Amino acid sequence: MGADVRAFGEVSRGFEAEIIGRLKSLVELESPSRDVELLARLRDDLKARWEALGLAVRIINGPTGDHLVATLARPGSGAPAEPRGHLLMIGHYDTVWPRGEAAQRPFRTDATHAYGPGAFDMKGGIVALELALTLLRSLGVQPAQELRVVCVADEEVSSPDGRYAVMGEAEGAAAVIGLEPPHPDGSLKNGRRGVARVRLGVTGREAHAGLDAERGVSAVDELVDQLVALRRTLPKVADAACNVGVVSGGTRANVVAGRAEAEIGLRYSAPSTEMALFDALRTLKPVRQGAEVCVEVLSRHPAWPVGPGAWLAKHVIGLAKRLGEEISARPADGAGDTNMTGALGLPTVDGLGPRGRGAHARDEAVVLSSVLSRGALLAAVIARPLPPGERGTGNAY
């Protein structure tokens, strides 16, 4: 069975200087979503580091950044029979911050926190995982089941390509662990609301706004009326949310607008609400003769309701308690790549990254002590077998 779980916590405390140095290097290796050049630099750094920690790493090429899949096999010589299914950990290495942000807000630390673009979401989670692997090697502990890690390059733009890497490695998984940040109090995430981005586009007909206004069909006016109609038809349930985030259209004040569009964010906790929201969009019809309305789905994450995989959160909470940390689990409003595995019914728990604050904000910071404690917890999760009789079926697909 290897070292006692508590040993991971004791040994982790000696790695504070190392995790600060590693976090600094990852923050300085900027990785904006869709910036292929900068993403490739961090991709190569992660690959080299993970291989040095004993993982076999392969690269899945993506159109706007490559994804990493790493495997730590369970030794077969003299070991008991392999548990059915592997343990899958999911993370991402892209950030929302543009090229040059790290120079404007250089990495820094104080007595409790580390600051810098991407430090919390989610390079702190990557450092915690690397610490877990370091602890296993330091204590000579082997994984209880095969570990696979998927780290995608496009999560911050809804994983349009990375989702295929996640779903491919989810096949046959016994359980799934998300490395995203936890709730502010450190609690795990055992469910997530679904999120979709939709573009509502309108085509009208341009004309001179003074001389030939009657020949024009205003796409801007049509869009306004469509948004009002959408508000009226949205389902009136607590778990439905609709945010019109971006509106654009027209060319100039003396031209009847020929085009207009709005980007809309949808959130939902139940599949039935998701269907009702999209039904409301599909039923929109032009108000004006000559106008055309088009709905385009830009991204879509299914809702992950709390379900039969709750035992996994209980298992992780129990390991945390043995390490001296009292945490709980509850659903989260935001979406992530674990929506996909949770929605499939695979036992999934997210929020195993370190605590912090200010995700996607300029005061972003990660709690240094939490990087250490989450590294110890991840090591315990990797080292301890999943509870007997509770593993996934290994055939969710």
Q: Write the pLDDT tens digit of every residue in 344-394.
A: 999 999 999 999 999 999 999 999 999 999 999 999 999 999 987 555 543
CA angle 266, 159, 383 (to 5 degrees): 115
Whether residue 287 has pLDDT greater than 70: yes
Whether residue 2 has pLDDT greater than 90: no
Q: What is the DSSP letter of 344?
A: T
Tell the residue number behind the tokens 């992660």, with chain if given: 46
CA distances to 24, 105, 164, 397 from 67, rounded to whole Å, are: 22, 27, 10, 21
The mean pLDDT of the chain is 93
Amino acid at 287: V
Q: Which residues of 28-40 are buried (b: 16+ CB within 10 A; e: fewer)?
A: ebbbbbebeebbe
Mean pLDDT of 116-127: 98
Per-residue pLDDT of 164-210, as tens digits, reads 999 999 999 999 999 999 999 999 999 999 999 999 999 999 999 99
Do residues 347 and 176 make contact, with C-beta atoms less than 8 angstroms apart?
Answer: yes
CA-closest candidate to residue 338, choices 150, 128, 161: 150
Position 307 scores a pLDDT of: 78
Strand, coil or helix: 17: helix
Whether residue 235 has pLDDT greater than 50: yes
Position 193 scores a pLDDT of: 95
Whether residue 222 has pLDDT greater than 80: yes
Architecture of the 194-301 domain: 2-Layer Sandwich (3.30)
Position 389 scores a pLDDT of: 55
Mean pLDDT of 294-299: 95
Hey, what CATH topology would domain 5-193+303-383 get?
Aminopeptidase (3.40.630)
390-394 own/partner pairs: CB under 8 Å, 24+ apart: 390/311, 390/312, 390/315, 390/347, 391/83, 391/84, 391/85, 391/174, 391/175, 391/347, 392/85, 392/173, 392/174, 392/175, 392/309, 392/346, 392/347, 393/85, 394/84, 394/85, 394/172, 394/173, 394/174
Do residues 55 and 71 make contact, with C-beta atoms less than 8 angstroms apart?
Answer: yes
Mean pLDDT of 47-71: 98
Per-residue pLDDT of 274-285, as tens digits, reads 999 999 999 999
List, in sequence order, every residue forming a beta bridge with 196; answer none if it has no partner: 266, 300
The secondary element (H helix, E strand) that includes residue 247 is: strand 241-249
CA-closest candidate to residue 245, choices 267, 225, 229: 267
Domain boundaries, the chain: 5-193+303-383, 194-301
Whether residue 396 has pLDDT greater than 50: no
Whether residue 395 has pLDDT greater than 80: no
Whether residue 397 has pLDDT greater than 80: no
Position 312 scores a pLDDT of: 96
Whether residue 151 has pLDDT greater than 50: yes
Work out the pLDDT band at 4, boundaries 50, 70, 90: confident
Whether residue 122 has pLDDT greater than 70: yes
CA-closest candidate to residue 165, choices 155, 157, 175, 174: 155
Position 70 scores a pLDDT of: 98
Q: CA 59 to CA 76: how far, in whole Å?
A: 25
Per-residue pLDDT of 65-92, as tens digits, reads 999 999 999 876 444 445 569 999 999 9
